[in-house]
Chain A
Amino acid sequence: MRLSLTSRLSVISALLPALMVMLVVYIGATSWTAWMSLTNSRMLPNNNFVGFRQYELLLTNDRWLTSVHNVIIYGVLFVSLALLIGFLLAVAIDQRVRAEDTIRSIYLYPYAMSFVVTGLVWQWLLNPTLGIQHVLRSWGFAGATFDWIVRPETAIYCLVIAGVWQASGLVMAIMLAGLRGVDDEIWKAARVDGLPKWRVYISIVIPMMGASFATAAVLLSTAVVRLYDLSVSMTNGGPGIASEVPAKFVMDHLFERANIGLATAAATTMLITVIAVVAPYLYWRARKGEVR
């Protein structure tokens, strides 16, 4: 298609905001962050090149190591539990149940709420003096303890509980779309073959739903790296630094602890991690798109 000069100018004008955003925000800001991570910037950015000194410091920083440790625990548990629960919920809804719309709404509504709201509700529910622990004890389970949120070694699991509650509905929605996309004749063929339903799910349906699982897993994984609001609102990183996470580490060192060099080194580490997860996924998607 040959475009006249006017058309060409129009297209360029329409794409200008996107181009600006790409160049200034994404490429520009990312490069600047990466550059600052190689300097000894404290309160204000400077250009004193110190090589990978900040990264070395990062590796000896207890708070950072705890954050990374936490995000790994959170990530593994959150992603696998949300995938499992979301898939089971989708399968349950797919069984021609009554009031399907209502049930689906119940599973999904937490996803409409912010992490701040999620964090505050669960903070209240897990409150050992008046929350679930207290309820269990008043029901006669005198020895029941559910005080994870105030114990340093378990606080991170509380974030998992809240996170799974918030995100399982999303997985359910993605999986349900995948299940509904399975050709009805596949089910008929399986019935004629005499396959029990669970066998069809395991041997035929799950292998067909690779794309749904990949999409859900990538969405959940990026949410893991971004984990910030939930930690701030639910435990504020505590008790002590027990539920610190990398995103919070960056924010605190940028704006409160005035250590820009260290913060940007942490941010750059996060960036590399995300790219390592997302690039293969996007490449796979793009290739699939070409084949189709």
Chain B
Amino acid sequence: MSATALSSGRPRRISPARWGLYAFILITALYFLLPLYVMIVTSLKPMAEIRQGNLLALPASPSLAAWVKAWTSACTGLTCEGIRIGFFNSLRILVPSVVISILVGSLTGYALSLWRVRGANILFGAMMVVAFIPYQVFIYPLVRVFSFTGLGQSLATIVTIHTIFGLPTMTLLFRNYFTSLPVELFKAARIDGAGFYQIYARIMMPMATPMIVVAVILQTTGIWNDFILGLVFAGRDNLPMTVQLNNIVNSTQGERAYNVDMAATLLTALLPLVVYFGSGRWFVRGIAAGAVKG
């Protein structure tokens, strides 16, 4: 229970302080909602209406034309096939990256939490430190390593990269979760003769469903929103949606089609927003669980 559940004395009308509070909440909420609102109304207006300059006005005659154009025929540099190319690229990157990074992370977290191996704490501590280091420090050597191995810029490369950079957070998440489980469970399984991978697959992972949900949310939004790694490692044929979006908006020649830009921006933000509003408190839980990393 929070402080606010305390009594406020005799039942009475809303106090001035209460009015102030609600005014503060209303104003801040408007500030946070304004960009989303402007994105939506702009994307529904024709350019002629936008040029008149009523940024905040509702569209006179809402039209999805800009959305269709953004999806199918907006120009990203050389080609004009719309942002859908980026959408499907991002999906192709997203699915294997999420699955593999969670598998590797949960296995690492499991091994580091329940099996008291020598050096486990050192490895874990080191992983927590490196989680904070900016990508710029690793990026060039990694480019060289991948071109040396022959993978170069490819889907396999970007998936590997997401797995690598997701590893500290995923390990942390699962390690903390497995550490919080009663250790008797693990001991009982050992006495029953279950081996390392059996305990992982049969006992621990089925119990870790809440953490898996959190991990999926965290990784999905994180990987979908990535820009820099996709730009460097995915290769020209697999550029993710965020990169394509930036190309559409920032490399246009001549007059900017703001309605198409905003439609493309919304389309790019759509999946994380759906995940966010669909998952409710789970998203917050993900933030709290992964709070050690940025």
Contacts and interface: CB of A to CB of B under 8 A. Distances in A.
Contacts of B145: 24, 29
A112 B195 contact: no
Contacts, number: 277
Nearest to A277: B132
Interface residues of B, number: 94
Contact of B141 (A33, A134, A191): A33
A248 to B, nearest CB: 9
A239 interface: no
Contacts of B32: 106-107, 109-110, 165, 168-169
A232 B250 CA distance: 9
Interface stretch (A14-22, A51-59, A148-156): A14-22
Contact of A114 (B29, B116, B225, B288): B225
A107 B110 CA distance: 34
Interface string B53-84: 11110000000000000000000000000000
Contacts of A114: 224-227, 242, 268-269, 272
Nearest to A234: B250
B227 A11 contact: no
B55 A270 contact: no
Given A18-B167, A117-B265, A109 B117 contact: no
A15 B111 contact: yes
B244 to A, nearest CB: 10
A291 to B, nearest CB: 16
Contact of B137 (A29, A177, A188): A29
B127 A18 contact: yes
B228 interface: yes
**Residue with the greatest number of chain B CB neighbours at <10 A, chosen from A26, A28, A138, A264:** A26
A18 B167 CA distance: 8
Contacts of A251: 136, 139, 228
B205 interface: no
B288 A116 contact: no
B125 A286 contact: yes
Contacts of B265: 117, 120-121
Nearest to A236: B250
A108 B221 CA distance: 13
A124 to B, nearest CB: 6
A215 interface: yes
A124 B258 contact: yes
B42 interface: yes
Given A22-B130, A174-B287, A7 B196 contact: yes
A15 B132 CA distance: 21
A14 B111 contact: yes
B249 A11 contact: no
Contacts of B21: 92, 95, 97
A191 B34 CA distance: 38
A268 B53 contact: no
Interface in B218-267: 221, 224-228, 232, 242, 245-246, 249-250, 258, 261-262, 265
**Residue with the greatest number of chain A CB neighbours at <10 A, chosen from B22, B108, B112, B133:** B133
Contacts of A104: 284
Interface in A85-103: 85, 88-89, 92-97, 101, 103
- The secondary structure that dominates the B interface is helix
B140 interface: yes
A188 to B, nearest CB: 7
Contacts of B31: 165
Given A116-B227, A174-B288, A121 B127 contact: no
B144 to A, nearest CB: 7
A121 B55 contact: no
Contact of A29 (B25, B29, B138): B138
Contact of A15 (B117, B164, B288): B117
A267 interface: yes
10 closest Cβ contacts across the A-B interface? A114-B225, A10-B196, A96-B4, A112-B276, A29-B141, A187-B3, A222-B294, A250-B136, A29-B138, A14-B111
Given A25-B164, A124-B38, A131-B55, 9 more contacts: A17-B104, A92-B21, A103-B25, A105-B277, A117-B245, A124-B262, A130-B53, A254-B140, A263-B140
Interface of A: 1, 3, 6-7, 10-11, 14-15, 17-19, 21-22, 24-26, 28-30, 32-33, 36, 45, 85, 88-89, 92-97, 101, 103-118, 120-125, 129-132, 134-135, 138, 165, 168-170, 173-174, 177, 179-180, 182, 184, 187-188, 191, 197, 200, 215, 218-219, 222-223, 225-226, 228-229, 232-233, 236, 246-247, 250-251, 254-255, 260, 263-264, 266-268, 270-271, 274-275, 278-279, 282, 286
22 contacts: A15-B117, A21-B164, A25-B138, A30-B138, A33-B140, A88-B24, A92-B24, A94-B4, A112-B272, A113-B269, A114-B225, A114-B227, A116-B227, A117-B225, A120-B246, A130-B50, A138-B54, A188-B6, A200-B3, A225-B134, A229-B228, A263-B140
